[in-house]
Amino acid sequence: MLESRRAVWLVLLSAGSAAVAAQSAAPPSSDALLDPVVVVAPLGGSGEPDRIPVDMQSASAGDFEALQAMDLSDFMNRSFGSVSINHAQNNPLQPDFNFRGFTASPLLGLPQGLAVYQNGMRVNESFGDAVNWDLIALSAVQEIQLLSGANPVFGLNTLGGALSVRMKDGFTFARNEAQVYAGSFGRMEGTAQFGGNDGRWGYYTNIDYFREDGWRDFSPSDALRWYGAVGWRGEDSTFDLSAAHVNSDMSGNGAAPVQLLREDWSAVFTHPDRTRNELTQVIAEASTQWAGWRVSGNVYLRQLNSDSFNGDGTVFEPCIEGGVEFLCEEDDDQPLRDQSGNAIPAELGDQSLDAINNISTRRQRSWGAAVQASAESQLSGGRRNSFTVGAAHAHTAASFAADVEVASLQPDRSTNRTGIFADELRTELGNGNRNWSLYFIDTLDLSDALTLTLSGRYDHTRISLRDHSLSSPELNGVHDWSAFKPAAGLSWRVSAQVRAYANWSQSARAPTAVELACADENAPCNLPNSFLADPPLQQVVANGFELGADGSASVGDRAARLNWHAGAFVTVNRNDILFQTTGGPQANVGFFQNVGDTRRAGIELRIEQSVGRVDWHVDYSAIAATFADQFIVNSANHPLIPDNEKLPVAKGSTIPAIPRHQFNAGVDIRFTDALTIGADIAYRSGVYLRGDESNLLEPTGGFGVVNLRAEFAVSQAVRVFARIENLFDRRYETFGVLGEPDEVFEEFDDPRFLGPAPPLGAWAGVRVRF
């Protein structure tokens, strides 16, 4: 659990801010959508939507409140197109987020393909490009924009899109507010936020506490998050300083054997599986007008400490030496040695050592700076030209340490502690990551109706690895990647109501430290804990093309305009990287490898309208995510492949874990000025299981989920609200993987593990403004 001392400190800090708020004569502000501009660069360069050749989905704080979403990923899953999440970890704070078949996940081992920025700072953790959604409290977010495509300007990892998150400050949130809700699964969340300004100086602070017991067995989690900001606004200049501190403790016990779930939907395979994150970060931003240019920049410091403890079935086998039974690695007759050099027995006391504890720590300190300048000019013939140029540098120093402790499974399938560690699987790795880049965007009106946008970015990335254990010198090395990636697009204003666009873009991501350190088929790693070798991997390069149109149409009353979007896209990843499992009870032993090209192609349709007291929206996406090359993959647990044989993957096979059909619809009805009731439905088609890249097994079932919500204004200052999720208590799964259930349940012979989704849940709360 979180340290009470930190909790008291954060509460006092927020209370102090409240005292300042009470003395401030700050004017009120609204949480309405900001001006409709597209963020076209990490530091907030903006352009009108009808001049930028991309699709953008955006939302603001008012939308988050109306939907009563739990976090950013939950909100986007229910209201944005081409978005889905899965329950690989079965923790609401650790979702796998997918957009157009590209992933932003907190889990090491997944091929990440989305860039996420918070106040202009990239928050993909450099060690594995992972995104920790638990570190961003939704209540402190002012606005988000999800941009589509392989936009090179947003840098590494922008293979499928970029998410820009702007946090609140004293100029966008100028009031005091508290909220609390509670309900199913022992879940409760409380938030207090205070903000204000005097026209020049502004302040904002937010403290958010979340806890739940979890709907599955042995799955408690909590998170304490603080965010604060001060800012200054001059005639032509701005300055903002923000800071955040987060402590989270999450239990995510992952997928479970299908035979176990038939007996008990809430059961877990083995436990515990805990991740603890501690984040401290500071970001300073400034902008000014100088010689006709808008110059902006930022500097940041970010420290993230992550500790994980994963109890699992054993990956070792008994072997005999001198008539005594010891533990050995698979296909090895040499006993494992502990930290003292002694052979590890197969039993300890009267208990078999039939389990392991994967224990790891990560320490990541990142710092960086960026600057960009934007200007507008009129060229010959009165043609408007907008130009932005920028540069950025980022550096991360990381350390990773991991141990594999032998253990015994207890009657409730938890693991005990023995203090006996497999010495040869101990890892101590140092990692340095440096990236510097130059980028530009030029938007030129070729005519009153046609706009051309050209952009590009040069990145140089250096990743250094150093074995601190002195037992794996093959890890030592320095790896460099350099590339210039361009983009070009046209936006055509067909009429006052219709805009069409086309865009070609290219982006890349360099292999991460976790991939480089686990890339040898002959030395597979126990993800994410044991690194043994670093054969070179090629960087992934994405080529994307998309076209679309959007606009509005009058339907009866002019105020009831129907807004629509239709588009199509295709993105091809060259030299994509895949984690190939070689075994493990939950398929977490394996290695990373370039497997050739992959392809994501799809269509997107979106309609929304406000009619009187009714707001509604519908969106549909069809995404075909396939392997574009034939290759051979390890699939140690596939039931149709004989032992020690590999699985041929045919060109055109569907990539696992990505639903082909995705549908969202929602409606909110304001029955009175005080009462609003809303509902939303999400449908996702089934997905193939990881480990079945050849699509030989049946996918998971498709599902539709209905959610309800209501809000009632008791007064201008007090609102009560309630929501129900999975109204019809539908049992469904969003994820699947092939594993080894017989390592724990000898009678289980079905290798399918599924990620079950939560059952019916209900919550109610109150929001007070003062």
Digit-coded pLDDT (tens) for 172-193 = 999 999 999 999 999 999 999 9
- Does residue 241 carry a pLDDT above 70? yes
- Does residue 683 carry a pLDDT above 70? yes
- Does residue 582 carry a pLDDT above 70? no
For the chain, give the percent of residues with pLDDT over 70: 91
- Tens-place pLDDT, residues 129-160: 899 999 999 999 999 999 999 999 999 899 99
Mean pLDDT calculated for residue range 640-650 = 83
Task: Report residue 580's pLDDT band, with 50, 70 and 90 as the boundaries.
Answer: confident
Structure tokens, 763: 């919550």
- Does residue 261 carry a pLDDT above 50? yes
- Does residue 110 carry a pLDDT above 90? no
- Contacts of residue 696, defined as CB under 8 A and 6 or more positions apart, other chains included, come to 638, 640
For residue 260, give Cα distances in angstroms to 69, 740, 750, 754: 31, 13, 10, 10
For the chain, give the percent of residues with pLDDT over 90: 72
- Tens-place pLDDT, residues 594-613: 889 999 999 999 999 999 89
Query: ∠ CA 730-732-735 to the nearest 5 degrees?
Result: 155
Whether a cis peptide bond, with omega within 30° of 0, leads into 411 is no
Residue pair 68/666 in contact (Cβ under 8 Å)? The answer is: no
Over the chain, what is the mean pLDDT?
A: 89
- Does residue 88 carry a pLDDT above 90? no
pLDDT for the residue 566: 97
pLDDT for the residue 74: 95
Task: Report residue 427's pLDDT band, with 50, 70 and 90 as the boundaries.
Answer: confident
Mean pLDDT calculated for residue range 217-243 = 97
- Does residue 592 carry a pLDDT above 90? no
- Specify the pairing of strand 114-118 against strand 161-167: parallel
Residue pair 358/307 in contact (Cβ under 8 Å)? The answer is: no
Distance (Å, whole) CA 109 – CA 162: 20
Structure tokens, 634: 């390890």
- Tens-place pLDDT, residues 699-729: 999 999 999 999 999 999 999 999 999 999 9
pLDDT for the residue 501: 98
Q: Model's pTM, two decimal places?
A: 0.92
- Least confident among 74-83, 252-261, 314-323, 448-457: 314-323
pLDDT for the residue 25: 35
For residue 453, give Cα distances in angstroms to 55, 306, 545, 673: 14, 41, 14, 45
Mean pLDDT calculated for residue range 424-452 = 93
Q: Is 549 left (phi over 0), alpha (psi -120 to 50) or beta?
A: beta
pLDDT for the residue 559: 62
Task: Report residue 556's pLDDT band, with 50, 70 and 90 as the boundaries.
Answer: low
